Amino acid sequence: MQAAVFHGNKTITIGELERPVAGPGEVLLRVRRTALCGSDTKLWIKGAEFTPGHEIFGVVDQPGHAMHGKRCLVYIPVHCGKCETCLAGDTQMCLVESVLVGWNRPGGYAEYLTVPEQCLLPVPDDIEDDIAPLLLDTIGTAAHGVRFVRPLVPPETTGPVLVTGAGPVGMGAIVALQNLGYTDVHVSDLKEERLQLAESFGARRHPVGSRDTRFKLIVECSGAHAARSLGMEIVLPRGVLILIGESDLPWPVQENKAIRRKDFYMVRTFYFPKSDFPLNVELLRNEKARYRRLVDAQFGIDRLPEMFGRFVAGELVKPLLAFA
Ligand SMILES: [Zn+2]
Ligand SMILES: [Zn+2]
């Protein structure tokens, strides 16, 4: 089968690998679409031990298995289903298993991969292949973050909300916020095209770095130090700064009066619990037309090296690797 190899130094090649064989408790999945994700950039730079790709949609190819032929997404956190955290529904934070598909075992920039049975999320027939991968990071991660902090900052008493970073997760956060009752959403980003897309989604443009307006809820989706630090400054007392964007760099916080003299919540969330999935399917159903606009390219695996570079350069919002 064809698979991408991330060598590091921004180099990807497409090679022939042996088709994997499912072990006990696993199935083989034939990949149809894998969405590119900004978090793979570090593998593009440093190289990857396993085939990357973690926003995976495909069809189970395991004759004789109850799931054979089913269209499924891959829930990336491998989880035991039995520990305290899993039993409480927080399968993304299992206390026993810590492997992530596409990170610590092979992922979806390949024609096939094996998937633990508990990581299969069956996709309803009315959700087309071309938008199915959005149910993971774009919708799942963003909507979970908003649901997690909503009790602290209910829409009725929160006023305007700021989203920093209008990439796929930021755009996902805008749609999730609007659907969860936050009607006045502001957005900041350095890229003009992204701001225009966010504006067409009903968000209002907020100048990058501006301290003129303060917000009860700030959804940080860029992972940039500057945006995080500014968020700590301009979040209102008793407000919430939620960090959904990720960064591998050490984050030096320059403490100042605006940060020191204030009670506020700084919240981190990761991915989403499996139990959110039906809610996310409903959100996608209600908002298909807008989510569809985020998918701005689809291409075969031979073009992945070139398209990944264009994606990292910010030319594309949510491109999909597609297999026939
Ligand atoms: Zn991702
Ligand atoms: Zn567990």
- Residue-wise pLDDT for 219-249, tens only, equals 999 999 999 999 999 999 999 999 999 988 8
Q: What is the 78 CA–ligand 2 centroid distance (Å)?
A: 9
Q: What is the pLDDT of residue 251?
A: 87
Instruction: Report CA(83)–ligand 1 centroid distance (Å).
Output: 25
Three-class secondary structure assignment of 227-259: HHHHHHHHEEEEEEEEECCCCCCCCCCCCCHHH
What's the CA-to-centroid distance between 83 and ligand 2, angstroms?
4
Percent of the chain with pLDDT over 90: 96
Q: What is the number of the ligand closest to the CA of 43?
A: 1
Q: Which ligand is nearest to the CA of 77?
A: 2
Specify the pLDDT at position 122. Answer: 98
- Counting ligands in written order, which one lies closest to the CA of residue 52? 1
Distance 54 CA to ligand 1 centre (A): 6
pLDDT at 253: 87
Q: How far is the CA of 252 from the centre of ligand 1 (A)?
A: 25
Contact 114, 107 (CB under 8 A): no
Q: Where are the alpha helices (DSSP H) in 84-187?
A: 84-87, 142-149, 168-179
Instruction: Supply the pLDDT for residue 254.
Output: 84
The whole-chain average pLDDT of the chain stands at: 96
**Separation of CA 86 and ligand 2 centre (Å):** 4
Residue 255 has pLDDT above 90, yes or no: no
Which residue would you say has higher pLDDT here, 253 or 24?
24
173-223 pLDDT, tens digit per residue, is: 999 999 999 999 999 999 999 999 999 999 999 999 999 999 999 999 999
Q: How far apart are CA 302 and CA 187, in angstroms?
A: 35
State which amino acid sits at residue 98: S
Task: Specify the pTM.
Answer: 0.95
pLDDT tens-digit profile of 125-183?
A: 999 999 999 999 999 999 999 999 999 999 999 999 999 999 999 999 999 999 999 99
Instruction: Compute, in angstroms, the gap from residue 135 CA to the centroid of ligand 1.
Output: 11
Residue 42's pLDDT is 94
